[in-house]
Structure 1
Amino acid sequence: MSETGRGAPAQSATADREVVVSRGIDAPRELVFEAFTEVRHLSQWWGPEGFTTTTRSFEFRVGGEWDFVMHGPDGTDYQEWITWTEIAPPERIAMLHGESRDDPNAFESVLRFEADGAATRIEMRAVFPTKELRDEAVEKYHAIEAGKQTLGNLAAYVTANVRKGAED
């Protein structure tokens, strides 16, 4: 079950392995893209509601890595690791996301940033190695709702902080 944010299921060869979430953000796409590419921003909003993020290392370039821990509101720590596989400013970022560099269950994610007048439509598409891993992410970790909350946190952060800074 893929959520496109527009009420229609995604149709593709990998649809049974995907989670897709999108949202409009009232800010130019360059600012939304910047919030994803600079750790000073990313660590402030990344993750679902109630989570915080501690970055251990961050290098935003193709082949670079983001090694971090997400701290859940219940005190649970989640080890996370991302390597950037494609960067096309300010339109697209592709990455491999898992618990560690050699995680066999790591999934691919593509972020698309589409200008919508003075606003931005962002889409996060995660493709898991198997349908079972996708189903586990949705059922056990609430991936669709968590993705929506993460994009909500991004929207709130960009409009309150990044955009304000650009206007100063």
Structure 2
Amino acid sequence: MPRELVFAAWTDPEQLQHWYAPDGCTIEYRSIEVKAGGEFHSCIHDPVHGDCWIKGVYHEVSSPEKLVLTMTLSNEQGDVVTANNAGKPEDWPQAIVTTVTFVSIGEKTEVTLHQTVAESEARKTGAYQSWFSMFDRLNNLLVTR
């Protein structure tokens, strides 16, 4: 897939609703403004573990090369909450910086994702594995477009 299409799937709220949640879960955006300084407030609805509210800020939106955003645990009203109150381990970071880069390799796009949370912690909470299922959903969405 050309990186412009992949980048659009990361920045178009309509497309995000179809893939940006782990298997068995859905995502709802209360608000989303994808631009530098823009904010979002979302909830991943998980039928097993309950709702996970996140708010964040887009710090860099460089189409089609790079996205940098923070994600902070919140409640339904958008107030910041502690990791414990959000059902995460106590040492889970209050805010996570996510950097996503998009590199063209022929007709394909290499996506690199980096988050400021320890991989071991992400594996324990299921966050690490969730990215793989979300990337599968993204790929399926892009193939059908």
Aligned residue among 51, 75, 78 for 2:52 = 78
Match of 1:40 in 2: 14
1:6-155 map, 5 Å: 27-74=1-48, 76-100=50-74, 102=80, 105-128=94-117, 131=118, 135-139=120-124, 141-155=125-139
- In the alignment, the residues of structure 2 paired with residue 143 and residue 68 of structure 1 have an alpha-carbon distance, to the nearest angstrom, of 16
- In the alignment, the residues of structure 1 paired with residue 99 and residue 140 of structure 2 have an alpha-carbon distance, to the nearest angstrom, of 21
Please state how far the C-alpha of 1:102 moved relative to its aligned partner.
4.2
- In the alignment, the residues of structure 2 paired with residue 150 and residue 82 of structure 1 have an alpha-carbon distance, to the nearest angstrom, of 19
Secondary structure class of the residue paired with 2:131: helix
TM-score in terms of structure 2 length: 0.82
Match of 2:85 in 1: none
Secondary structure class of the residue paired with 1:124: strand
- In the alignment, the residues of structure 2 paired with residue 82 and residue 155 of structure 1 have an alpha-carbon distance, to the nearest angstrom, of 24
- In the alignment, the residues of structure 2 paired with residue 135 and residue 99 of structure 1 have an alpha-carbon distance, to the nearest angstrom, of 19
Count how many residue pairs are aligned between Structure 1 and Structure 2. 130
- In the alignment, the residues of structure 1 paired with residue 96 and residue 42 of structure 2 have an alpha-carbon distance, to the nearest angstrom, of 16
- In the alignment, the residues of structure 2 paired with residue 77 and residue 37 of structure 1 have an alpha-carbon distance, to the nearest angstrom, of 22
Where structure 1 has 5 or more consecutive residues not aligned to the other structure, the ranges are 1-26
Please state how far the C-alpha of 1:38 moved relative to its aligned partner.
1.0
Extract structure 1 runs of 4+ deviating beyond 2 A: 100-104, 134-138
- CA-to-partner distance for each residue in 1:29-78, whole Å, 9 max, x for gaps? 00000011110111111021111011100111111111111011326111
Please state how far the C-alpha of 1:151 moved relative to its aligned partner.
1.1
Secondary structure class of the residue paired with 1:99: strand
Q: Which has the higher contact order (CA 8 A, sep 6+)?
A: 1
Where structure 2 has 5 or more consecutive residues not aligned to the other structure, the ranges are 82-92
Secondary structure class of the residue paired with 2:6: helix
